[in-house]
Chains A and B, each alone.
Chain A
């Protein structure tokens, strides 16, 4: 797993991926996104060599882009997708603790989070926190719904939950 983080600037993805391609790497699943002016990359890379060798392959280009680079040896495999069956959206006035309250409630009600995206919007004086979660549960969706309803009431956030029912055709 190759992780790169640094101040955002144009061309990061193209330069990094062409360096990897030219070094004979194969790219798998990846998440690349801009977070608060930084650009972040987490990417499965198939590479015939040690993590150190990969780090020194990417090092010069990462340095030139002022990106911090980190490599973890993982037991990753492609074609291991787990399909989410529930989606949750939560928003409310931003304050400390909102993420742990929501995710704690969901975990307790039996949700395993596969994907979470959150953002802060609103104005600087009145920020709002917006979260979108996809996950898997083996519980009835009503159980999650009830847990979120309690949270919404007690913590003054808006919550919505709905099943993800994949149409397979």
Chain B
């Protein structure tokens, strides 16, 4: 296991689009261990995306289980993730290990449905909401070369619109 260096904006590599993972081998799994260690080392880090350490493959780790009083799925290894449904909107505060000393408000889907593979290539699906759904959307943006800075909304944007969504919303 080893900590990896996190790329920090304005490093242009953070704007690069990542490629799908095709081989689910030991090299991948040992990289994921290092990536997870790097995530847990970051202060308050609840998610990380592979391109943040300069490996441009579609790998995301999220674990929001340290946060009290929220629904979550524990430790998630998400490879080649795809969001299959978006429901509702919520404004929340985000920061990023690749953008030190700044946080801002971002609008995300309040709830999502997600398909991804695990580190053995096994297909999985999830339904998630709130903080965990926000973390996954933030990390998946990294795979597209997007930062939360690309999605900032004004402080004045209503911060209290949460939960104003219907369960059977539109599928995208």
Contact = CB atoms under 8 A, between A and B. Distances in A.
A2 B95 CA distance: 29
Contact of A169 (B67, B96, B101, B155): B96
Given A79-B101, A81-B101, A81-B102, A167 B159 contact: no
B34 to A, nearest CB: 17
B102 A168 contact: no
Interface of A: 79, 81, 83, 87, 89, 115, 117, 132, 134, 160, 162, 164-169
Contacts of B43: 168
Nearest to B45: A168
A83 B27 CA distance: 39
Interface of B: 42-49, 62, 67, 92-97, 101-103, 131, 134-135, 138-139, 155-156, 159-160
What does DSSP make chain A's interface, helix, strand, loop or mixed? Answer: strand
A162 B93 CA distance: 12
Given A81-B102, A162-B160, A167 B131 contact: yes
A160 B163 CA distance: 15
Given A166-B93, A169-B95, 15 more contacts: A79-B101, A89-B160, A115-B155, A117-B155, A117-B156, A132-B155, A162-B159, A162-B160, A165-B92, A166-B44, A166-B103, A167-B134, A168-B44, A168-B96, A169-B139
B42 to A, nearest CB: 7
Contact of B97 (A79, A160, A168): A168
A87 B95 contact: no
Nearest to A83: B103
Contacts of B97: 168-169
A134 B155 CA distance: 10
A24 to B, nearest CB: 23
Contacts of B93: 164-167
B11 to A, nearest CB: 17
Contacts of A134: 155
A168 B159 contact: no
Given A89-B159, A115-B155, A117-B155, A166 B101 contact: no
A148 to B, nearest CB: 14
A169 B138 contact: yes
